[in-house]
Amino acid sequence: MNLVVLGATGRSGRLVVEQALAAGHTVTALVRSPEKLTTSNSNLRVVTGEATETSAVSRALEGADAVISTLGGKPPVILYSTRAIVAAARQTGVSRVVVLSTFAAERDRLDAATRLLTGIGMGAMLKDKTAGEEMLRRSDLDWTIVYASVLTDGPADGAVAVLPKGARRRMSERVSRANVAAWMVQAATGVQHSRSSVGITGSTRTSERTQTATKVTSDSPR
């Protein structure tokens, strides 16, 4: 498949690019600074532009099958980029969109202390994420919002726990960026989590466990 990655020069985005290429997909990376993307691969196409501008996102989405966003940064980058993604997706006919969020944005799953701490430290960012995510939910796109636990730089060991609906979120839970990257690539190429918000962690406390090895399985589309 042809996957577009937004935020490809970030700590998580770089891993999404690597995981997608390793799985045999073609990747288009929309970046402001191409020199920051050090990955070299014949299946990698680099488009220079701002992810908050519809015209740039549209250029990146030409011929794409899905878009994965790991964008973060100073508000209102999520709101503006989501607006651009929705508009560009409609222009180009791309429907599948997978975006990375944080467990802290699931306010109703947090205990009072965690809500207070994350609200103080991440207030503006959380408002931006919430606004962008609500815009995506209201769209007619085939979206998946990924609420990941605290991210670490651990290896891609292939195990991600998908939290049951309504499960409480804990600041003590961790998941490696590499595992999240692999999970997002598989989510973008499948339909299991269509129009769904999904909480994931590296914890083994949940009953459902999804294996996301970096190799392509026999039933993974390309």
Question: What is the C-alpha separation between 13 and 181, in angstroms, rounded?
Answer: 8
Which CATH number does the domain housing residue 99 bear?
A: 3.40.50.720
The answer to whether residue 219 is domain-embedded is: no
In DSSP notation, 154-200 reads ----SEEEEPPTTPPP-TT-EEEHHHHHHHHHHHHT-STTTTEEEEE
Assess if residue 114 is contained within a domain: yes
The average pLDDT across 210-217 equals 36
pLDDT digits (tens, 9 = 90+) for 115-146: 999 999 899 999 999 999 999 999 999 999 99
Strands 174-176 vs 209-211: parallel, antiparallel or unpaired: unpaired
Q: How far apart are CA 71 and CA 9, in angstroms?
A: 10
Average pLDDT over residues 64-93: 97
Predicted TM-score of the model (pTM): 0.90
Residue 203: its pLDDT value, please?
57
- What pLDDT, on a 0 to 100 scale, did the predictor assign at position 222? 42
User: 142: which strand partners?
Assistant: 96
Quick check: helix, strand or coil at residue 42? coil
Phi, psi of 164 (to 5 degrees): -65, 155
Q: Is residue 221 part of a domain?
A: no
Number of domains in the chain: 1
Asked, for residue 220, whether it belongs to a domain, the answer is no
pLDDT at 204 exceeding the cut of 70 = no
pLDDT in tens, 9-18: 999 999 999 9
Residue 217 domain-assigned? Answer: no
Question: What tokens does 104 get?
Answer: 């802290």
The length of the chain is: 222
Give me 126's structure tokens: 């959380």
In a domain, 222, yes or no: no
Q: Is residue 216 in some structural domain?
A: no
In Å, how far from its chain's centre is CA 139? Answer: 17
Say if 157 falls within a structural domain. yes
pLDDT of residue 29 exceeding 60, the answer is yes
Owning domain of residue 189:
2-211
Degrees, nearest 5: CA angle 157-163-168: 125
